[in-house]
């Protein structure tokens, strides 16, 4: 299927960047889960523009839940969330119809959809579509929290600057939940912001690496073929715009170790089976092993930049100069963090419900 | 679903490392595709042990196709491939039942399957299960070749030694098809082999990075949500044992560039729309853009090592010393290459059939 | 999955009878299909109450398409249709929460949803949910019409009165498209209406049999296992409230024939392969054979009746008397016909797109 | 998907009537279920030819389970059952390649599979494929029995002769489990056998109606859209060759009742909520209501008959005379009963595991 994801808990996404409304349908939630609209609004606020040099568009995201909730709790029937597109300015984009923006899906999408797609603001490809994901994600995060499972994401790298690594996880996740700019070391965060602003001033953009930790997962989730925890998470994460790599535990660095270094030795810790190290990021053979789940995504620099770019005019086949005039984030990593949490929560809740 | 993958062309995998037979069912193939048993045998030979210091087990893989083929061509009904397990020696493993091997799924699997799984040789988790994948992959690769699409994988890194990068792709893919040790620079290949043997002599193992290129894909395959080309490939690739990371195009390195560097500018080349660079690995917004598809996987070092390891005895809860006596590859990257080709061919043929 | 149906063209249904909005998401439509809002309104009018003695509720169904359509054509991205619930009167139902209505899902639903379902008006079980199905069905019917495929349904039996059988199909389908009360013999239709009104006056309800014919299908659609044309249609049709039986061709009567009578002999007709008779309803071995597809559904009498009924009070466990005061159709067959067309169109378009 | 069925417990079927082996893969079974090979053999014996005038072919069905079972219990990994085709005589069929048998899928299949299907013995369409279904069904039936759920099917009608209706269900199901010719009234059974033999002597065949009862199901299984219990069962049942109708409870007869007659009134019975009557066959609104599940299938007369038939020679387009010389059952209802039990068990176990 195309625009749905999940086995027990399916999420179906719909809408275009500049259409009247975007939204999603979440099916398979247990009846009786509390739905806290304030928490949804909080999570949406973490996705909202407003970081350093970020898009000046005001996205208020006044969501409505039109089904699947009764008296503040899930009914067990499909839950539909709608978010109106109140402030889109189509004029910013419409002249781009025949001029594919480098690094964007414009050209590939015109082939797939044979020229019939809504061209305004990236249409269905727009990062705007992550807003309903984040809203639904708030419900997933709350359901996981009730089971003692917590998720948090920080900007591990941005513009060449590294945040400190995860340390005492419970405290780190607490700190990240409230942080508008999600780093573990605020000094490094200030350096990142400065670097992002510097790039923005040059009409350019930067990328980053987002690292997520999950605490409290039981062992035995996932499957050897083909629904490994890694595979399911990666499948979902790669649909977040700008993600170009996903690695678990030490990931690519693990491929440089020897087996004697990479193997995480089992031991007992107060009656629980744990591993001494966690090079494998909490996953063995595609299954959770009870250790914290750790993974990272590579976020490419925002393709929409103010600086002039060379591209094609598809109507003539000739080269042309493109200057993108809309407002765009010079780095989407800070906002993408809320999406990464949401997508992670969806996959993990789905796995827990599939046991 | 657990042990099936694919939307139009589904592959269902079954079997245990030391059971009587392993195999797979492939459903959704077009009627009339030629099935060349010699080519299947060739692809299986690329997966077979025999590289430097590799497992001494002789895996002959005398496969049988018991359905779905009539007079040398696919019928359009499910194709079942069976491979007997003729030479497994269960004695090597059976004493490990309560002693989880570090880096393996033994512990996580015992939780998931509640102690009922076949413990011999990793059971259903075994890398042995990739043999039917490779056999089916030969059929997928041949079907893609008929459409002008070619796939090849080399060992981009192994034991700290880097192969050269892909150059003239058509020639590089030709060279890889016949290579027993798949590198582009044979001198580097010899260095890799020496390093692998050195690790093996120390009772240790090494990992590597496998890089795949695909030539001839049309633009417009994939979807923005959630079946991106990246997401589908990663989903499948992470079920290959030992894969801990997947990145497309420049991947993690892309996150260090600026947008002005990372964006691949469109231009015309003899009437075809191409990009000047290919930092995005042939994918924009989750869709193929007509450029070569390029990705890399991180292969962790083989967890089965000869050197003694500390682990738990689950029957007592106490620490114990483990010495794995079976025969194991000190580096699975050379063999995993055939699996990576097969999995890639499955995903891409499935995408082509979904248009 | 629960609330989704379809392989290539999936329809996901959401909403509760008395929630703010109900709707559906249709995914997998080709880009470029014309979307005619007048035709959608026409099909919705066929589902609207207003037949003999039918519910006096005015259901205007002012639908909105909020995604997936651009400049009057499908974009190829998910199409979401929303229908507000403007005139529901919750007071009619709310006192029934602990008093399950006989013949309804109230009791079974309270077990499934653990008491958290929206109890108003049947919630997610309500026949109201068929409105978005009919709206989406209009798009499917139009897409089939472009391929030369036509669908029509008549009331074959109602309150013991039989309509005439299908005759010259093209003319019969023309007549049914415009008919508010869908019968082939208007005299019989008048008798049916009178019988329905007579039952209504007694506080009772009646059922019927709906028969559908489809003209223009190619041979070879469907599959032997398990997605037979019969199986897929029946799967979808049984979710239409009140359907309790589905039969193809001569159906149950076929089981009374001998093989020599039941087999439809092949012959040529102006270069086309046809059968002399059509006892098998256009399907052999689960596949279409190019003859008209013919099937019938058994529609049970509306369970909501004005007459007093005995039931349980779940809060006390004691017997109680129930008098349903809302407005209800004494026979839903006339309205269900629009739903049957819609569901049939969905399944067939999905099959055509799966070839 | 084509040849797979089930959501949590998927069954994938493969093989051709005259290929080397047929079989199925069952995925999603819980680990630890006992697998009793004698019970599988017993259930296969119920499907075996040998009834009145039935096919003289000896089908021994010496099945092997090649994966998913370890020490007599399910492992939780995919279970593959293989059945060799030892006694097929291809010569009986091969001359039919261009001469489609009336009532069979030969013509429709040749369109779908473009002429590449294995033509011997109906290939993948053959009723022979129900053998692995029955073998897997034995495992499902045993798993249901452990949960207190029992399934039984009798020949409700055959050649115009009616068996008595279900009475005291527990005793009736006991009697059916052991019966080679599954009727509740043996006198009627003898009459049926005589009628079947009479038809066979005339080179003809007869059909019948199979009625199934299920005892012990909890309330609340199923879903309103689209996975109703009726819809799921019908989907699976229509893939059993020869089934042309499915009805639940009173089915088509229910459509002749008034609402006041059709509604099953709720009452308490020793602390359990039950209904006085069971016109709805244990299902309300698509969900089980805790009453016995009752349904019937229409089985058409075997299309393979000895008497001469008129058909086309596709190679010339001209009419020809066809005389089918293989051995065929003059009535498949007695054998189809084992298949109906198996398919029912699959759907119900899947529903129970989906809660």
The predicted-structure confidence for A71-110, as pLDDT tens digits, reads as follows 999 999 999 999 999 765 555 555 667 899 999 999 999 9
CB-CB neighbors (< 8 A) of D13 in chain B: 78
Pick from D16, D32, D67: CB nearest B77 = D16
User: Is D114 within 8 Å of B27 when comparing Cβ atoms?
Assistant: no
Average pLDDT on C312-329 reads 89
- CATH number, domain A4-353: 3.60.150.10
Tens-digit pLDDT profile for residues B162-213: 999 999 999 999 999 989 899 999 999 999 999 999 999 999 999 999 999 9
**What is the C-alpha separation between B158 and C283, in angstroms, rounded?**
58
The CA distance from C178 to the nearest CA of chain D, in Å, is 25
User: Is B80 within 8 Å of D15 when comparing Cβ atoms?
Assistant: yes
The confidence band for B327, taking pLDDT boundaries of 50, 70 and 90, is confident
Q: Percentage of residues in chain D with pLDDT exceeding 70?
A: 94
User: Is D114 within 8 Å of B32 when comparing Cβ atoms?
Assistant: yes
Q: Residue B90 above 60 pLDDT?
A: no
C145 touches chain D (CB under 8 A): no
The CA distance from C175 to the nearest CA of chain D, in Å, is 25
Interface test with B, best of D21, D73, D77, D115 (most B CBs within 10 A): D77
Angle at A35 between CA A30 and CA A38, to 5 degrees: 160
Cα-Cα-Cα-Cα dihedral sign, residues D87, D89, D90, D94: negative
The more confidently predicted of residues C327 and A112 is A112
Average pLDDT on A291-306 reads 97
Nearest CA in chain B to D33: B116
User: Is B287 within 8 Å of A4 when comparing Cβ atoms?
Assistant: no
Question: Quick one: pLDDT at residue B97?
Answer: 78
A89-118 burial, b for 16+ CB within 10 Å, e for fewer?
A: eeeebeebeebbbbbbbbbbbbbbbeebbb
User: Is A2 within 8 Å of B264 when comparing Cβ atoms?
Assistant: no
Instruction: Specify whether the CB–CB gap between C163 and C188 falls below 8 A.
Output: yes
The confidence band for B148, taking pLDDT boundaries of 50, 70 and 90, is very high
Question: Quick one: pLDDT at residue A294?
Answer: 98
Neighbouring C-alpha atoms within 13 Å toward the C-beta of A290: 21
Tens-digit pLDDT profile for residues D230-245: 999 999 999 999 999 9
Question: Quick one: pLDDT at residue D90?
Answer: 57
Cα-Cα-Cα-Cα dihedral sign, residues B115, B116, B119, B122: negative
CB-CB neighbors (< 8 A) of C80 in chain A: 14-15, 21, 23
D121 touches chain C (CB under 8 A): no
**What is the C-alpha separation between D226 and C3, in angstroms, rounded?**
5
The CA distance from B74 to the nearest CA of chain D, in Å, is 7
Query: Cis peptide before D239, with omega less than 30 degrees from 0?
Result: no
Tens-digit pLDDT profile for residues C196-210: 999 999 999 999 999
Cα-Cα-Cα-Cα dihedral sign, residues A39, A40, A44, A46: positive
Lowest mean pLDDT among D31-45, D49-63, D106-120: D49-63
Pick from B1, B23, B31: CB nearest D80 = B23
Instruction: Specify whether the CB–CB gap between D210 and D155 falls below 8 A.
Output: yes
> Which two structure tokens, joined as six digits, stand for C131?
């409105």
Cα-Cα-Cα-Cα dihedral sign, residues D252, D255, D258, D260: positive
Residues 15-34 of A with CB under 8 A from B: none
DSSP state of A115: T
Residues 33-92 of C with CB under 8 A from D: none
Q: Which chains touch A (3 or more CB pairs under 8 A)?
A: B, C
Helix axes C333-353, C37-47, angle to 10 degrees: 140
Tens-digit pLDDT profile for residues D81-116: 999 997 655 555 556 678 999 999 999 999 999 999
The confidence band for B86, taking pLDDT boundaries of 50, 70 and 90, is confident
Question: Quick one: pLDDT at residue B178?
Answer: 84
Q: Residue A57 above 70 pLDDT?
A: no
The confidence band for D325, taking pLDDT boundaries of 50, 70 and 90, is confident
Residues forming beta bridges with residue C157, ordered by sequence position: C162, C209
Residues forming beta bridges with residue D321, ordered by sequence position: D310
Question: Quick one: pLDDT at residue A91?
Answer: 59
**What is the C-alpha separation between B169 and B156, in angstroms, rounded?**
14
The confidence band for A224, taking pLDDT boundaries of 50, 70 and 90, is very high
Angle at B147 between CA B142 and CA B148, to 5 degrees: 90
Tally of CB atoms within 10 A around A191: 18
The confidence band for B35, taking pLDDT boundaries of 50, 70 and 90, is very high
Question: Quick one: pLDDT at residue A123?
Answer: 94
Task: Extract the runs of DSSP E, i.e. beta strands, from chain C.
Answer: 4-5, 10-14, 21-27, 64-67, 69-70, 73-74, 79-84, 150-158, 161-162, 208-215, 243-248, 266-269, 272-275, 283-284, 287-288, 293-299, 309-313, 318-322
Nearest CA in chain D to B82: D66
CB-CB neighbors (< 8 A) of B10 in chain D: 1, 4
Q: Residue A329 above 70 pLDDT?
A: yes
A278 touches chain B (CB under 8 A): no
Q: Percentage of residues in chain A with pLDDT exceeding 90?
A: 87
SS3 string, B183-218, reads CCCHHHHHHHHHHHHHHHHCCCCECEEEEEEEECCC
DSSP C150-175: EEEEEEEEETTEEPPPP-SHHHHHHH
Tens-digit pLDDT profile for residues D131-159: 999 999 999 999 999 999 999 999 999 99
Instruction: Specify whether the CB–CB gap between B341 and B137 falls below 8 A.
Output: yes
Question: Quick one: pLDDT at residue D110?
Answer: 95
Q: Percentage of residues in chain A with pLDDT exceeding 70?
A: 94
Question: Quick one: pLDDT at residue A65?
Answer: 98
B262 touches chain A (CB under 8 A): yes
Average pLDDT on A4-13 reads 97
Tally of CB atoms within 10 A around B274: 16
The phi and psi torsions of A164 (rounded to 5 degrees) equal -70, 160
Q: Percentage of residues in chain C with pLDDT exceeding 70?
A: 94
Question: Quick one: pLDDT at residue D132?
Answer: 98
**What is the C-alpha separation between B287 and B281, in angstroms, rounded?**
11
Q: What is the CA radius of gyration of chain A?
A: 21
Pick from B239, B245, B260: CB nearest A246 = B245
Tally of CB atoms within 10 A around C120: 22
Residues 152-211 of A with CB under 8 A from B: 157, 160, 199, 203-209
Angle at D73 between CA D68 and CA D78, to 5 degrees: 15
Question: Quick one: pLDDT at residue D92?
Answer: 54
- B–D interface: beta-carbon pairs under 8 A: 160
Average pLDDT on C245-249 reads 98
Tens-digit pLDDT profile for residues D180-228: 899 999 999 999 999 999 999 999 999 999 999 999 999 999 999 999 9
Question: Quick one: pLDDT at residue D48?
Answer: 87
Q: Percentage of residues in chain B with pLDDT exceeding 70?
A: 94
The confidence band for B326, taking pLDDT boundaries of 50, 70 and 90, is confident
The confidence band for A273, taking pLDDT boundaries of 50, 70 and 90, is very high
Residues forming beta bridges with residue A288, ordered by sequence position: A283
The CA distance from D179 to the nearest CA of chain B, in Å, is 34
Listed residue (A310, A262, A291) closest to A103, CA to CA? A310
User: Is B76 within 8 Å of D113 when comparing Cβ atoms?
Assistant: yes
Nearest CA in chain A to C8: A1
Average pLDDT on B123-152 reads 97
Pick from D259, D268, D301: CB nearest C301 = D259
> Which two structure tokens, joined as six digits, stand for A91?
């004029």
SS3 B312: strand
Pick from C219, C239, C301: CB nearest D228 = C239
Average pLDDT of chain A is: 93
The confidence band for A48, taking pLDDT boundaries of 50, 70 and 90, is confident
CB-CB neighbors (< 8 A) of A275 in chain B: 102
Instruction: Specify whether the CB–CB gap between C127 and C101 falls below 8 A.
Output: no
The more confidently predicted of residues C172 and D324 is C172
CB-CB neighbors (< 8 A) of D238 in chain C: 228, 230-231, 234, 286
The confidence band for A49, taking pLDDT boundaries of 50, 70 and 90, is confident
Pick from A283, A309, A317: CB nearest B268 = A317
Tens-digit pLDDT profile for residues A93-104: 556 678 999 999
Domain ranges of chain B: 4-353
Task: Please count the helices (runs of H) and the strands (runs of E) in chain B.
Answer: 8, 18
């Amino acid at each position: 299927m195309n625009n749905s994801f999940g086995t027990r808990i399916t999420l179906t996404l719909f809408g275009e960047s500049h259409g009247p409304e975007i939204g999603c349908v979440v099916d398979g939630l247990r009846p009786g889960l509390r739905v806290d609209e304030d928490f949804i609004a909080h999570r949406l606020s973490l996705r909202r523009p407003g970081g350093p040099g970020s898009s000046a568009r005001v996205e208020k995201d006044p969501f409505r839940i039109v089904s699947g909730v009764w008296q503040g709790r899930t009914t067990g029937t499909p839950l539909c969330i709608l978010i109106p597109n109140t402030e889109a300015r189509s004029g910013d984009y419409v002249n781009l119809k025949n001029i594919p923006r480098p690094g964007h899906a414009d050209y590939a999408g015109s082939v797939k959809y044979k020229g019939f797609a809504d061209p305004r603001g990236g249409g269905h490809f727009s990062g705007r579509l992550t807003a309903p994901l984040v809203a639904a994600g708030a419900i997933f995060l709350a359901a996981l929290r009730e089971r003692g499972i917590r998720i948090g994401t920080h900007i591990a790298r941005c513009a060449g600057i590294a945040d400190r690594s995860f340390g005492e996880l419970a405290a780190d996740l607490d700190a990240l939940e409230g942080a508008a700019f999600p780093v573990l070391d605020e000094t490094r965060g200030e350096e990142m912001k400065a670097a992002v602003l510097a790039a923005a001033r040059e009409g350019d953009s930067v990328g980053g690496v987002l690292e997520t930790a999950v605490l409290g997962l039981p062992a035995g989730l996932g499957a050897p073929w083909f629904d490994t925890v890694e595979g399911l998470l990666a499948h979902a994460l790669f649909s977040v715009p700008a993600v170009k790599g996903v690695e678990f535990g030490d990931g690519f660095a693990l491929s440089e170790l020897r087996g004697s270094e990479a193997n995480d030795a089992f031991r007992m810790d107060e009656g629980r089976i744990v591993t001494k190290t966690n090079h494998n990021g909490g996953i063995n053979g595609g299954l959770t092993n009870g250790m914290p789940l750790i993974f990272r995504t590579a976020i490419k620099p925002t393709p929409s930049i103010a600086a002039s770019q060379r591209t094609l005019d598809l109507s003539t086949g000739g080269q042309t100069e493109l200057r993108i005039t809309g407002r765009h984030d010079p780095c989407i990593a800070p906002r993408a963090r809320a999406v990464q949490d949401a997508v992670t929560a969806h996959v993990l809740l789905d796995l827990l419900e599939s046991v």
